Amino acid sequence: MSSAVLALVFPYGAGAWYHDGNSNSMIEFTVLKRSRRSRARLGILKTPHGEVMTPAIVPVATNATVKALRSDEVLATGTQMLISNTYHLHLAPAQPHAGRPLARGGEETVAAASGINAFMQWPRPTMTDSGGFQVFSLGFGRDLGVGKVASASFPNRLERAVTEGAQPQSVKIGEDGVRFRSPLDGGEIFLGPRESIAIQERIGADIMFAFDECTPPRVMRGYMRAALDRTHRWAKACIAAKRTDQALYGIIQGSVFKDLREESAKTISRLARGGGFSGFGIGGDLGDALGTSRIGTRTILNWTVPLLDSRLPRHLLGIGKLDDIETIVKAGVDTFDCTVPTHYARRGIAFVSSKKRGGWEAADFTKAVMLRDRGPIDAACDCLVCSGYRRQYVAHLFRAGEITGGAMLTFHNLYFFNGFVARVREKIKKGLL
């Protein structure tokens, strides 16, 4: 890593390798600069495990690992904060009794290791998602075969729109929480606001998220209305259930419905004003990436962000392709998580510097041409991988089914995304965004 990039990523120094101090203090968010051209802002998010320069991307470490990388490697990519998952950690480290709610959940394994930071040897800030996304991804998402963002393959499948009163097949959404089937032993997993908070407190991340219901793309309004009431009720229940002084973010839902999104922003803001939340998550269906519905992420953010207390940090849940980043930052997002850099890396896709619009392009290492390419992964990148290995080698690893290829591209992609966001911060600092 060049010293220039290091300075952007770790302006206060990289800090000592793993040190777990007293971690039970609240977070503190400071806005350093507000753009005059947009809602973009530069800030510092202070947590018990160090500071995050915002805007920042938060790579996804669902199972207490950024898939394919060691924590020290993740650190070397310039990553400032990670987000792990309540649902997965409740299930995963628990060996034989995964089906039993709470008593023997995986969070106990994490707690016994002194929390997520020590457990995964990650010294920097962490978040835990509440499991609300799994209500969608294992429910309607799975039934409809869609992700949270409408895509080209989606319209054909939408005859089965989610209407009022609908239930997913393998997940049951109730008024007090959600019943899942454990993929490990088929046992029942019940997750509601109380359960989610209890688990997140055992995991011990700096920032927790309220348990919400993430809805699929283009839900019908009637369904969204009822789901939003649940999410709001659960938000209050999360606040009531919370015992530690970890930070808790409330989540705004409402899909593409302006009045519902506004109502949600106001409701969650009110709870934040009351001291229940120390930040905001914006989640759910964030509009059509293809633009066919004419309501995109930017529009939805423009409805909601102005209604939020500007002193508190705003996290956009699960959005962060390179093409999205400037847009969401300009709409006032401070942090965002996204699986794209890590997920795509394991599929053989590297994001590399380019003269094309946006300054990047995708390079597919599973293509045969890559086997003949003797150049570096990204000629303009100075990461550990790019500074030595050739494209043909990485392509060979993918061809041979070697996991090292995915690990190398994961490293590079995270380095690339972190550098990309660091440049966005520079633009804000210089008044260019």
Partner RNA sequence: GCGUCGGUGGCGGAGUGGUCAAUCGCAACAGACUGUAAAUCUGUCGCCCAUUGGGCUACGCAGGUUCGAAUCCUGCCCGACGCA
Q: How far is the CB of 49 from RNA (least distance, A)?
A: 19
Q: How far is the CB of 80 from RNA (least distance, A)?
A: 16
Catalytic residue, from 20, 129, 206, 373: name it: 129
> For RNA, which residue of 5, 45, 66, 208 counts as binding (CB under 7 A)?
66
Q: Which is nearer to RNA, 145 or 358 (CB)?
A: 145
129 interacts with RNA by CB under 7 A: yes
* DSSP 3-state of 43: strand
357 interacts with RNA by CB under 7 A: no
208 interacts with RNA by CB under 7 A: no
283 interacts with RNA by CB under 7 A: yes
Q: Between vectors from CA 80 to CA 389 and to CA 306, what angle results, nearest 5°?
A: 125
CA distance 410 to 77: 9
Site for RNA in 69-108 (CB under 7 A): 83, 85, 87-88
DSSP summary character for residue 285 = -
206 interacts with RNA by CB under 7 A: no
- Active-site annotation holds for 337: yes
57 interacts with RNA by CB under 7 A: no
Q: How far is the CB of 164 from RNA (least distance, A)?
A: 19
User: What would the two tokens of residue 7 be?
Assistant: 């300075």
Can you list the alpha helix ranges (DSSP code H) found in 274-314?
A: 297-304
| Residues binding RNA: number (CB under 7 A) | 60
- Active-site annotation holds for 245: no
DSSP states of 394-430 as a string? HHHHHHTT-HHHHHHHHHHHHHHHHHHHHHHHHHHHT
289 interacts with RNA by CB under 7 A: yes
Nearest alpha-carbon partner for 235 in 221, 248, 246, 219: 248
Beta strands in 165-204 (DSSP E): 172-173, 178-181, 188-191
* Beta carbons of 105 and 50 less than 8 angstroms apart: no
134 interacts with RNA by CB under 7 A: yes
148 interacts with RNA by CB under 7 A: yes
* Beta carbons of 39 and 107 less than 8 angstroms apart: no
Q: Which is nearer to RNA, 325 or 383 (CB)?
A: 325
Q: How far is the CB of 181 from RNA (least distance, A)?
A: 11
> For RNA, which residue of 368, 372, 374, 379 counts as binding (CB under 7 A)?
368
β-bridge mates for residue 282, sequence order: 252, 316
Site for RNA in 14-53 (CB under 7 A): none
> For RNA, which residue of 55, 93, 276, 320 counts as binding (CB under 7 A)?
320
User: What would the two tokens of residue 75 be?
Assistant: 């650190």
DSSP states of 93-105 as a string? T--TTTTSTTTT-
Q: Which residues contact 368 (CB under 8 A, 6 or more apart)?
A: none
> For RNA, which residue of 270, 343, 390, 423 counts as binding (CB under 7 A)?
343
Please, what's the b/e burial string for 144-161 (b: 16 or more CB within 10 A of its CB; e: otherwise)? bebbbbbeeebeeeeeee
Q: How far is the CB of 68 from RNA (least distance, A)?
A: 7
Q: How far is the CB of 165 from RNA (least distance, A)?
A: 20
Catalytic residue, from 206, 212, 288, 337: name it: 337
Q: Which is nearer to RNA, 6 or 161 (CB)?
A: 161
147 interacts with RNA by CB under 7 A: yes
**Total residue length of the chain:** 433
Q: State the catalytic residues.
A: 129, 337
